[in-house]
Structure 1
């Protein structure tokens, strides 16, 4: 094999195909123009995308103001933050659960009555526009100042009651002093009786804390059986729960029955519940579910975990798609009232219990959620997020009696 005797090129010298004009040639102006245009277009697109949500919110608020003929109103922000969760931003409420404000005779009577209801709350059935609602609206006396009560009541009465009377803060303060010791209105009939106002045909008040129950089921609830302790010993006499023990009042009957089955089968792990359900028959599980689903009990839950309530509200109402987490309400219904039988009410559930269950799903100790949704959602949330959403849900009013089942019937009219 002969050696290659061709001369080697000195790397310091240019290649033989080198053209001198290559070093000094500039980028063609048309190509440079296209590149600049694309850069400007890309930057503008990113800027618009970032501002899209903010602008959409501004436009929705502006549309509301145009539709109502009103300028900037202090009560609007208060309503969206504290009332729209139940009554909805359009004031139409929730079918068979939360009465509408639009066209309501209660609202048409003016801001004084609206403020009175805000300060006292309503417990019991009311009739609005020929539809019956039976629930519990809590008092907001400890939530709002006199100025805020006046602003919010005036806003609601003007927008949905066509009543332009403006309530003054001093009037709200005087009203607060008069009603501070009266407790909740006893349904629509109680509002009419206490105020002397004509509010149409209102149903009589009946306590929702007394449910018919067979003697043997009553014994299970209040006395226990054999080595089983009673349901009430942990969950309270009215199923209101406490701290890390869940509220049962208002949960759908089929959901309660499923959880009892899951405890018995080991799909949910809790030593106390395993003992309680060990000897329960299917009929007894169904009867217990029916009893607790019919209870209407005021909330004793509190946001006591130190969570960020604003962040909790965002997760509950909007979710966080940067974490691929949908809103709680997209599955559990408006205001967290539940969609039977798979998705229980979350409203007024104890914060410690909700946070502990989210942690159990995230850690793999609980695996019985529908479609395995909660395992993914809980794992995506930080511990701080779990505390925040648990605190926010604990701040909501409880589900009205019976609506955990009826909210699933989406085709029914209000």
Structure 2
């Protein structure tokens, strides 16, 4: 044998390099996975996936048809489509977007507000003593009669406005009246002819 040298000492203090060993998934885990798969197949088989989903809660078609549909929420439509410009408080943005609160265009005849919502405005309009020169988009192609009636009713009943509610029938009548119109109203001067 050879004599121990000082060079051998550091090698004895070192651990061997790690090696990956073959560690299979424990049998208990494999058993649990197998049981879950068997349960899933059994559940799908006994759930009758071929039944009509509309009757999943065991109500028949007549009962489902009798459930009233939810009323259109004008406040929600206003918040999604109008509040960015006219603000949630209806005060608008000074010199940019007109206020709806206390506006004669809102509180006057409902046909004017309906036509504004249906076709939009392009041009000068005076609101509460201030002149606004901008563009309001048309919503006639985006909202149906019930939705326009709901948002118009919301506008006419908020922020101190005292206008009567607007019905979907009124909107349908106004839509039919100006069915051939494709351009926005040319400011307040043209809207004034509707009063």
Smaller-chain TM-score range? 0.5 to 0.7
Q: Which residue of 2 aligns with 1:179?
A: 178
Structure 1 residue 137 and structure 2 residue 148: aligned? no
Find runs of 4+ consecutive structure 1 residues off by over 3 angstroms.
none
What do residues 240-293 of structure 1 show as CA deviations (whole Å, max 9, x unaligned)? Answer: xxxxxxxxxxxxxxxxxxxxxxxxxxxxxxxxxxxxxxxxxxxxxxxxxxxxxx
The 1:93–1:101 alpha-carbon spacing in structure 2 relative to 1, beyond 3 Å, is same
- Structure 1 unaligned spans of 5+: 1-71, 198-414
- Structure 2 unaligned spans of 5+: 1-70
Give the drift of 1:110: 4.5
d(CA) in 2 for partners of 1:156, 1:80: 11
Q: Which residue of 1 aligns with 2:82?
A: 83
d(CA) in 2 for partners of 1:188, 1:125: 6
**Do 2:125 and 2:187's aligned partners in 1 also have CA atoms closer than 8 Å?**
yes
**Do 1:108 and 1:161's aligned partners in 2 also have CA atoms closer than 8 Å?**
no
Give the drift of 1:132: 1.0
d(CA) in 2 for partners of 1:110, 1:159: 16
Q: Which residue of 1 aligns with 2:91?
A: 92
Give the drift of 1:164: 4.3
Alignment of 1:383-398 (within 5 A): none
**Do 2:124 and 2:133's aligned partners in 1 also have CA atoms closer than 8 Å?**
yes
The 1:99–1:88 alpha-carbon spacing in structure 2 relative to 1, beyond 3 Å, is same
The 1:163–1:113 alpha-carbon spacing in structure 2 relative to 1, beyond 3 Å, is farther
Give the drift of 1:116: 1.3
Alignment of 1:41-120 (within 5 A): 74-120=73-119
**Do 2:85 and 2:97's aligned partners in 1 also have CA atoms closer than 8 Å?**
yes
Give the drift of 1:129: 1.1
Matched position secondary structure for 2:164: coil
Q: Which residue of 2 aligns with 1:192?
A: 192
d(CA) in 2 for partners of 1:115, 1:181: 16
Q: Which residue of 2 aligns with 1:225?
A: none
The 1:161–1:121 alpha-carbon spacing in structure 2 relative to 1, beyond 3 Å, is farther
Q: Which residue of 2 aligns with 1:170?
A: 169
Matched position secondary structure for 2:158: helix
| TM-score where L is the length of structure 1 | 0.29
d(CA) in 2 for partners of 1:124, 1:159: 26
The 1:173–1:133 alpha-carbon spacing in structure 2 relative to 1, beyond 3 Å, is same
| TM-score where L is the length of structure 2 | 0.59
Q: Highest Rg: 1 or 2?
A: 2
Equivalent pairs counted in the alignment come to: 124
The 1:82–1:73 alpha-carbon spacing in structure 2 relative to 1, beyond 3 Å, is same
The 1:160–1:107 alpha-carbon spacing in structure 2 relative to 1, beyond 3 Å, is farther
**Do 1:110 and 1:163's aligned partners in 2 also have CA atoms closer than 8 Å?**
no
User: Which structure exhibits the higher relative contact order, with contacts defined as CA atoms closer than 8 Å and separated by 6 or more residues?
Assistant: 2
